[in-house]
Structure 1
């Protein structure tokens, strides 16, 4: 556990989450993201680590970090990819999101070449203030049919450079997965 801004954050691998914790995370994410939340979105959160914040035994914040391989300028780049960052609506403005990000960014800096995520316009300022940079180049996905452009994601991908030598105006390609590629 770590403490940041008086918010206690637990960090657990997916296999350490019990059935009750998994159900709580799914319920939180479904409540925060509502109609934009799908089964594949849940699957994207699994297989890495989960940062959790509870208040009085109730889950109020979550963020997951999974390993993904991105391709940039002809080479594979090991990325810590952020998924499912959510704070319950009635708990926002209490630095819970910042505490979750502090913990997850520490993991990114300790084991990945860069952090990456896809976001909405509403959250852009939050990530920019933390040093996440907008990807200005084209995005694409390595699909079963080959590399395909993902123009709907061109303005939503953010990266946190760690050791990777990045050209933010070049193409960035993500590995394939079911559902939204980014």
Structure 2
């Protein structure tokens, strides 16, 4: 069992050197397997990356990218979490916690709300323990054809309000993007 304390380093996409960019992409893809597409990686670009290295290799990654979430008529500036992955041989060592510490630092400094779609029971438990709110209301996307319900995201979205109160039984709408909208 490793007893090291890990801290994630924050780097904007624009500041990733080519080697780090490709290493992060490769590690995240390996962690997710066939479930991670080029579009999924695209969603993780354009914001801040939380990265953890061990002996020159990236062993953990998360990204926070800007999105807009519509809530009760307001377009909230959202730090949306993408590409959270820990290399298989490092799982269970607290690296996801270190990644989220860094991601939440970014959110608290730059956004009105943090959000993620957490599909796994383990992920949902982790976000709940960190004080994130489990969104109970209906979800939708502002699609090119107009607002469209996203029932596949219902019950899987978690939010971290920053200085605002939110009713988690209300509707929540995300902005449009290719691939998985949540």
| TM-score category of the 2 structures, normalised to the smaller one | over 0.9
Equivalence for 1:51: 50
CA distance in 2, matches of 1:115, 1:76: 13
Is the Cα contact below 8 Å between 1:13 and 1:48 reproduced in 2? yes
Question: How many residue pairs get matched?
Answer: 178
Distance 1:14 1:63 in 2: 12
Match of 1:33 in 2: 32
Matched, 1:137 2:140: no
Gaps of 5+ in 1: none
Contact between 1:77 and 1:164, CA under 8 Å: does it hold in 2?
no
Partner of 1:176: 176
Q: TM-score, normalised by structure 1?
A: 0.95
Q: Which aligned pairs between 1:1-182 and structure 2 lie closer than 5 A?
A: 6-122=5-121, 123-182=123-182
TM-score (structure 2 length as normaliser): 0.95
- Find the residue that maps to 1:85 and give its secondary structure: strand
C-alpha separation between the residues in 1 aligned to 2:69 and 2:115?
A: 9
TM-fit CA distance, 1:127: 1.1
Q: Distance in 1 between matches of 2:59 and 2:16?
A: 16
Alpha-carbon separation, structure 2, partners of 1:162 and 1:8: 23
Give me the CA root mean square deviation.
1.0
